[in-house]
Chains A and B, each alone.
Chain A
Amino acid sequence: MLYALLCYNDEQAVGSWSKEEDAAVMDKLAAVNDRLAREKKLGPVARLMQTTAATTLRKSGKNRGLEAGDEAPLVLDGPFAETKEQLLGFFVVDCANLEEALAITRELGVANPGGAYEIRPIALYLPGSLTKEPA
């Protein structure tokens, strides 16, 4: 089973980290990532920009914008949902079961304090092949 581990936290607090604090957390996460990569359990990993850089596409309630006469989807600025925590990134891990996914998530939680992770089984998985740097 493939699982997506979704990382949530208060992005204003995380955004207040100094460069050194940020680098320290990223190093600890990288250490976990390295081991998982060696065990061939790690898919793509992403860290997302802050939600101020997000744009949301919201489809009309009645229809899905697929047929003639359907309303066009609404494009909105900002993240999909306003909550206390924001999605900071996700991990894709290959685990035998939920127990193993939980164990890995706990380990990541120790490396990266505060916030929460959401664990969700994946229905469709695309490994992706982009290797270029952003911008």
Chain B
Amino acid sequence: MTDMAWIDLALRSARPRAVGALLRYFGDLDAAEEAFQEACLAALSKWPENGPPRDVAAWLIFVGRNAALDVVRRRAKDRPLPSEDALSDTDDAEGALAAQLDDAHYRDDILRLLFVCCHPELPSTQQIALALRIVCGMTVKEIARAFLVGETAMEQRITRAKARIAAAAIPFETPAPEERAARLRTVAAMIYLVFNEGYSATGGEAQRRAPLCGEAIRLGRLLLRLFADEPEMMGLLALLLLQHARAAARLDADGAIVLLEDQDRALWDRQAIAEGVALLDKAMRHRRPGPYQVQAAIAALHDRAATAAATDWAEIDTLYATLERLTPSPVVTLNRAVAVAKLRGPAEALALIEPLAPKLSGYFHFFGVRGALLAQLGRSDEARAAFDRAIALANTAVEAAHIRMHLDRLGRGA
């Protein structure tokens, strides 16, 4: 790895801390980002020669703040530029600053930075774009590519999102514990959203969106580092790792979905599974179950089964029942039905999902599952009708193709 590649990684990993602190200082996202950019330029010119500073984030905050203040002063007094040396002469002050900025400061800074990206007035697509740009430091070009839009369109989307945030008040006071917990929940949901944007992509999109899963995992780690004793943060990171572990086996060469039971388990990432399981073990010790922990536990049961036939469906059924209690939703019940079908047969599973019909009448997966259960029961005509409905509701060509495969099987069986 070259020096420059190393510096690039150091800047990337210090980014949330540095931009978070600069946001607190300037109270404005654009100013914070500009100051961070200035500091990065200074780092690229100084570090190869002098070596990286001991505390990268503190250095960037100090240099970024000074550079931005210089701009303000220059505009105010139109005085000559400060010399290069003045900028680099920060060693003593840097130590003092690092001492002031302990982890507690950083914690609320980073949480605030993530939280402003989740402003309730922002649609989820804008929240995700903003978080990827501001917190993760992805370029507008990279984000535009992931979302299949032009660079200009993405630039506008991000600018609009920033304007909305600027119009709303950014919360700068140190949050009370309940407020902090609420922010944490909001941010966790946004991180899961980022992950799903990457994870749910299929076909040609899958390749372009793959980096989003990695970014979400990075954000999950960041959050868990700041809130080390929060079982739901352990659960969230475990969930992301345990799902992402199957990435290499989830899509075939054409980008079509490969069902869990058909996946080549040799392609699963054992290291990610081991880490996910370790995190889940840590979380369960707290005996404070939450939706992320339960979903992670379900993913872990799939990941640890040597073969599809060896899957512990009884335990998965129990976990889905717990999830139904924690977060009642027809979609959770629909997922549970898959476990019930394996455990107690398609008739019982069908009885479980029939009451969901009014609520899920526009949901692709409902008709996919319903069709599969009816097909298993030999009720081919009804199954065909359900699959037709699913195709009509399919969000992507890949989803539709998947249902057509079911229809073909039905045709052959008849």
Of A32-40, A50-58, A93-101, A118-126, the one with at least 4 CB within 8 A of chain B: A50-58
Interface residues of A in 40-81 (CB under 8 A from B): 49-53, 55, 75-78
**Residues of A in contact with B, size category:** 20 to 34
Of B163-171, B275-283, B358-366, the one with at least 4 CB within 8 A of chain A: B275-283
Residue of B10, B12, B228 near A52 (CB, 8 A) is B228
Alpha-carbon distance A24/B2, docked complex (angstroms): 12
B103 contacts chain A at the CB level, 8 A cutoff: yes
Residue of A15, A17, A53, A75 near B279 (CB, 8 A) is A53
- Chain B, residues 1-13, CB within 8 Å of chain A (1/0): the string is 1000110011011
Of B69-77, B118-126, B217-225, B326-334, the one with at least 4 CB within 8 A of chain A: B217-225
Contact B228 A78 (CB under 8 A): yes
> A5 CB to closest chain B CB, in angstroms?
20
- Chain A, residues 1-40, CB within 8 Å of chain B (1/0): the string is 0000000001011011100010011000000000000000
- Chain A, residues 122-135, CB within 8 Å of chain B (1/0): the string is 00000000000111
Smallest Cβ-Cβ distance to A82: which chain B residue: B103
Contact B228 A135 (CB under 8 A): no
Contact B228 A77 (CB under 8 A): yes
Residue of B218, B270, B274, B279 near A16 (CB, 8 A) is B218
Contact B1 A21 (CB under 8 A): yes
Main secondary structure of the interface of B (DSSP, over half): helix
Interface residues of B in 156-197 (CB under 8 A from A): none
Alpha-carbon distance A53/B273, docked complex (angstroms): 12
Smallest Cβ-Cβ distance to A84: which chain B residue: B55
**Neighbouring B residues of A12 by C-beta, 8 Å:** 13, 221-222, 225
> B339 CB to closest chain A CB, in angstroms?
22
**Neighbouring A residues of B229 by C-beta, 8 Å:** 76-78
Residue of A52, A75, A78, A135 near B274 (CB, 8 A) is A135
- Chain B, residues 190-232, CB within 8 Å of chain A (1/0): the string is 0000000000000000000000000000100110110011000
B285 contacts chain A at the CB level, 8 A cutoff: yes
Q: How many B residues have CB within 8 A of the partner chain?
A: 30
Contact A135 B1 (CB under 8 A): no
B379 contacts chain A at the CB level, 8 A cutoff: no
**Neighbouring A residues of B285 by C-beta, 8 Å:** 55, 75
Alpha-carbon distance A20/B12, docked complex (angstroms): 18
Contact B1 A25 (CB under 8 A): yes
> B304 CB to closest chain A CB, in angstroms?
7
> A68 CB to closest chain B CB, in angstroms?
25
Alpha-carbon distance A75/B221, docked complex (angstroms): 21
Smallest Cβ-Cβ distance to A14: which chain B residue: B9
Residue of A51, A84, A113, A135 near B6 (CB, 8 A) is A113
Contact B282 A50 (CB under 8 A): no
Contact A135 B221 (CB under 8 A): no
> B221 CB to closest chain A CB, in angstroms?
6
- Chain B, residues 251-291, CB within 8 Å of chain A (1/0): the string is 00000000000000000001001110111001001000000
> B17 CB to closest chain A CB, in angstroms?
10
Contact B1 A10 (CB under 8 A): no
Say whether, besides A50-B221, A78-B228, A133 and B6 are in contact (CB < 8 Å): no
> B347 CB to closest chain A CB, in angstroms?
36
B54 contacts chain A at the CB level, 8 A cutoff: yes
> B105 CB to closest chain A CB, in angstroms?
13
Contact B6 A49 (CB under 8 A): no
Alpha-carbon distance A77/B10, docked complex (angstroms): 25
Hey, which bits of chain A sit against chain B, CB under 8 A?
10, 12-13, 15-17, 21, 24-25, 49-53, 55, 75-78, 82, 84, 113-114, 133-135
Hey, which bits of chain B sit against chain A, CB under 8 A?
1, 5-6, 9-10, 12-13, 54-56, 103, 218, 221-222, 224-225, 228-229, 234, 237, 270, 273-275, 277-279, 282, 285, 304
13 A-B residue contacts at CB 8 Å? A13-B6, A13-B12, A16-B12, A16-B218, A50-B221, A50-B275, A52-B221, A52-B234, A53-B275, A53-B278, A82-B103, A113-B6, A135-B273
